[in-house]
Amino acid sequence: MATVRAFSASILSHIKAEHAETCFKPIFVNGHWRSPRFSLRRQAELRKACTLNGVDPASIGMPPPAPPKVMQKKPPKGHKQQRQYAAKQAVIQKNMEDMPEKIRKWKEEKLKAKPVLPF
């Protein structure tokens, strides 16, 4: 629910006058950025005062409001163990499929390496 705003006399006087575009945007002078005459907070107050008093903000020289920025949707990072779980399970599954062949080879090598003792 909106509340009734009481604007200061200075804000209301700025609504009646027309301002240059440089009053609302920072400018680059002699290698340095110079602040705008109206800060972003004051610009927001001016815009609200204009709409409440029936004045078009563009008529006093205000630039149109900036469009809202799109938020980037990133998945939560999570723990390293959770991130690598699927890849680790795939490696384990592949190794389990190869296990009978590995066991067979191991048994063959074990039998070859085992010396036969004569009695």
Q: Is the pLDDT of residue 12 over 90?
A: no
Q: What is the DSSP letter of 105?
A: H
Structure tokens at 68: 């809202």
Please measure the distance between the N-terminal and C-terminal CA atoms of the chain and give it in whole angstroms.
Answer: 101
Q: Which long-range contacts (CB under 8 A, 24 or more apart) does 46-53 make?
A: 46/11, 46/14, 46/15, 48/5, 48/7, 49/5, 49/7, 49/11, 49/12, 49/15, 50/15, 52/5, 52/7, 53/12, 53/15
Tens of pLDDT along 48-69? Answer: 999 888 889 988 888 888 899 9
Contacts of 14 (CB under 8 A, 6+ apart): 38, 46, 60
pLDDT digits (tens, 9 = 90+) for 74-106: 888 889 999 999 999 999 999 999 999 999 999
